[in-house]
Amino acid sequence: MPAIHSQSERLSLEAEQHLPGGVNSPVRAFRAVGGHPVVIQSASGCHMTDVDGNTYTDFVGSWGPMILGHAHPAVISAVQQVAQFGLSFGATSPREVELARAIKRFYPSIDLLRLVSSGTEACMSAVRVARGYSEKPGVIKFEGCYHGHSDCLLAKAGSGAMTLALPDSAGVPPSVTQHTYTVPFNDLAAVRALLAEKGQEIGVIVVEPVAGNMGLIPPLPGFLQGLRDLCNEHSMVLVFDEVMTGFRLSRSGAQGLYGVVPDMTVLGKIVGGGMPLACYGGRRALMEKVAPLGPVYQAGTLSGNPVAVTAGLTTLEQIDAQPDLYQHLESIGAQLQTGLEKILQDTGVVGRVQRVGSMWTLFFTDRPVVDYVTAKTCDTQRFASFFRGMLEAGFYLPPSQFEAAFLGAAHRSQDIDAFLQAASRVLGKVS
């Protein structure tokens, strides 16, 4: 048996005896980049420390929620205070109402909302409500966009605009996805063609307004407004999955940044302040279809959990109290992008940096990445080498070419400078 060189390696191997692949979410297993995952002991601000005492500057932020930084004192204090009064009631508590009020203040498009425990649950529920309202079974989703692991949204990418989607996971019968249609992201013509063929059957379009699950891919000019117009024309419900972008790209997420108003919005990650919490909401006419007001059933024992609600509410209060937050995120994001682009030019490494606000990806490809097909042109082996080199240098990036990285309020200009210095050395070696 090979020698074990670290506590992280030992714990990872032990975890494989108890957890599938040694992890509780697949991308954590480092299969795309090689080696054993680091096991994190603690985190504070923009830094994480593993069980071997190594400290990393973090550009994952728990996959997006930690916009204030890890272990923010106000959030930790609020959670500690409320936890002493009970972890779950199974009944309404005052902070649920406060959080709902705060979300609606940030998101004027939401008249009513329902708190749930995960982004997957929120997306699944939003699509169910949209189908119940439209009374049409068909759902359009976009190749490479991820809306959680509910059966009907796990549809295989690359199937073409006119082709019924096949399941993208074992255990999902083809009959479950027979009403799910996939089209390329950023391709309005493909959506129009599909609607010309199947429009009478389709009642819902669900989209990440800024894609983050095939790397960071912005919407092309007019794409989101085009979806809005098509939904109006065909009496369909437009659902924005803002699990990643919510409260991150602006106080009103992507819809606030781009000025396009969906019928329904799904929020997660930041809205829970690092705790398991998400929500879906939208126009009153749609949300009044949800039980107990209407015939669309959805329930959850831990929905509105008082500890999670407190973490989310405190996070939103802190965002509200920092008027320069998004200017700061844009400033360090631009610093990172400009610096990386110069390094690519200087080293001759083929790549491009794509960024919207505090979300970004370094793609190892020579072409603009606008959809799933162009994302798949990336050199994933070169990314894996870059990831390992940066990890060794003390910088924690998403362990996949096809995941967005995140900046937060705790990152400072000097953190970006240090990252760029390390990136210059590492990219110089992989050129």
| Tens of pLDDT, residues 333-379 | 999 999 999 999 999 999 999 999 999 999 999 999 999 999 999 99
Instruction: Give the torsion through C-alpha atoms of 268, 408, 379, 157, to 10 deg.
Output: 10
What is the reported pLDDT for 160?
Answer: 29
Low-confidence ranges of the chain (pLDDT < 70): 1-4, 155-168, 431
CATH number, residue 107? 3.40.640.10
> Which residue in this structure is represented by tokens 């024309």?
233
Strands 405-406 and 359-363: antiparallel
What is the reported pLDDT for 429?
Answer: 86
Number of domains making up the chain? 2
Instruction: Give the torsion through C-alpha atoms of 218, 219, 222, 228, to 10 deg.
Output: -140
Q: Do 381 and 393 have their domain in common?
A: yes
The string of DSSP codes covering 24-85 is SSGGGG-TTT-SPPP-EEEEEBTEEEETTS-EEEESSTTTTT-TT-BT-HHHHHHHHHHHTT
Q: Which residue, of 320, 348, 368, is where some domain finishes?
A: 320
Q: Do 247 and 356 have their domain in common?
A: no
What is the reported pLDDT for 1?
Answer: 42
Q: Which residue, of 296, 320, 344, is where some domain finishes?
A: 320
Q: Do 15 and 88 have their domain in common?
A: no
Q: Do 198 and 149 have their domain in common?
A: yes
The strand order across the sheet containing 352-356 reads: 352-356, 359-363, 405-406
Which residues lie below 8 Å from residue 25, measured CB to CB, with a gap of 6+? none
Q: Do 309 and 356 have their domain in common?
A: no
Q: Is residue 349 part of a domain?
A: yes
Q: Is residue 66 part of a domain?
A: yes
- Rounded alpha-carbon distances, angstroms, from residue 310 to 11, 90, 108, 220, 277: 32, 16, 22, 37, 10
What is the reported pLDDT for 158?
Answer: 30
What is the reported pLDDT for 155?
Answer: 67
Q: Do 82 and 145 have their domain in common?
A: yes
Instruction: Tell how far CA 133 is from the center of its chain.
Output: 26
What is the reported pLDDT for 431?
Answer: 63
How many angstroms separate the CA atoms of 185 and 215, rounded?
13
Q: Do 187 and 310 have their domain in common?
A: yes
CB atoms under 10 Å from CB of 312, counted, come to: 31
Q: Which residue, of 270, 286, 320, is where some domain finishes?
A: 320
Per-residue tokens: 197: 């063929």
Q: Do 110 and 64 have their domain in common?
A: no
By the 8 A CB rule, do 203 and 138 touch?
yes
- Residue ranges making up the domain that contains 245: 73-320
Instruction: Tell how far CA 325 is from the center of its chain.
Output: 20
E strand intervals along 341-400 = 352-356, 359-363, 395-396
Per-residue tokens: 96: 């649920």
For residue 192, which of 179, 178, 181, 208 has the smallest C-alpha distance? 181
User: Quick one: DSSP state of residue 298?
Assistant: -
User: Quick one: DSSP state of residue 295?
Assistant: S
Q: Do 99 and 197 have their domain in common?
A: yes
CATH number, residue 337? 3.90.1150.10
By the 8 A CB rule, do 181 and 164 touch?
yes
How many angstroms separate the CA atoms of 355 and 361, rounded?
7
How many angstroms separate the CA atoms of 179 and 165, rounded?
8
Q: Is the dihedral of CA 313, 317, 320, 326 positive or negative?
A: negative
Per-residue tokens: 337: 């992008």
Q: Do 199 and 331 have their domain in common?
A: no
As annotated, the active-site residues are 146, 241, 269
For residue 44, which of 52, 27, 56, 30 has the smallest C-alpha distance? 56
For residue 352, which of 383, 325, 373 has the smallest C-alpha distance? 383
Q: Is residue 2 part of a domain?
A: no
> Which residue in this structure is represented by tokens 């249609």?
181
By the 8 A CB rule, do 381 and 33 touch?
no
How many angstroms separate the CA atoms of 317 and 99, rounded?
10
Q: Is residue 1 part of a domain?
A: no
Q: Is residue 404 part of a domain?
A: yes
